[in-house]
Structure formats: structure tokens, C-alpha cells
A = this chain, B = another copy of it.
Amino acid sequence: MTTALHCDPRLDLLLERVVDVPPELVWAAWTEPEHVKKWFTPAPWKTVDCEIDLRPGGIFRTVMRSPEGQEINNVGCLLEIVPNRKLVWTVALQPGYRPGNPTFDVPIFTAMILMEAYGKGTKYTALAMHKDEDSRNAHDRMGFRDGWGKALDQLVAHAKTM
């Protein structure tokens, strides 16, 4: 299978990195709620709940909690599921493909997570696609790069314990 990556730098935010855990563990970390809760939200926030119905149209929901107890409930819709290779979800749709806006104040985006065996590790790609430059830039200012990078560090650290 070939997974073509169409990245438009004006509209997209991209994180690419080689990590030293295999694709199967990265996949499990992304698709099993018990694992997602261990890494998804950059510390000192925590992921206190997660719900995943792993099929096209299924729910991808996380609840993030700040040290002060503020909670953010984030509901998205899964779009494409290729085990150990590709996971796509969006906050532009609610579960069941119903149009909807994110439940918190984030620019609307679709996330495409790609993983590819690379030696004993994984070439990991996370792409966030936006409808226009304003959305992309707002997401950038919110700290996409640091946030998703730090979350990936947490994913790798957790995967090594799995």
C-alpha cells in the first residue's frame, strides 16, 4: 500500500520524526483508550478519559484535565483506519459523520497520523490540515509543534513500557 502525503505548507502543520518503537506499538498507543490516556495530553495536563470506536464514522473522544481541574472534552470522528499504517480523524465532523464544530476552542482540523517501519523503529508523521491560513496559523500559535512533539515523547516513553 502506498500512502501519499499531500502537505500544503500554507494550510497544514506537520510533525515528522523517527522514533525507536515499532509501528505496532505506535498504533496500539493511538487506538486503545487505556494507552491513549497515558500520553495524549502534554504534561502537566492529563488525559482523564478516552473513548474510541475504531471504525469509519466512529467516535474519537478525549478528556483533558489541567492541574487546576479544568476539563476539555474533545469529540471527533474517525475517518480512515489502516492498522499499523494510517489513522485519520477530524473535529469537523461528529461521530456518525454529522457536521459539527469542535466542543472546545480549537481551529477546525483533520489529523492524519502515518507510521512506517524504519529499521527497528517507526517513521512517524502527524499532519494537521486546515481550511485556510488563518486556522493553520491560529493552531500554530496555540503551540502545535511543541504540544504534538511533547505528546509524541510521552507516547514513545509509554510504548516502551507496553
Contacts and interface: CB of A to CB of B under 8 A. Distances in A.
Interface of A: 6, 11, 56-57, 79-80, 88, 90, 92-94, 96-101, 108-110, 112, 129-131, 135
- So how many copies of this chain end up in the complex? 2
A108 B97 contact: no
B98 A110 contact: yes
Given A79-B97, A99-B130, 18 more contacts: A6-B96, A11-B98, A56-B79, A56-B80, A57-B79, A57-B80, A57-B88, A80-B97, A93-B93, A96-B129, A97-B110, A97-B129, A98-B110, A98-B130, A99-B109, A99-B110, A99-B131, A101-B131
B99 A90 contact: yes
Contacts of A112: 97
A108 B90 CA distance: 15
A98 to B, nearest CB: 5
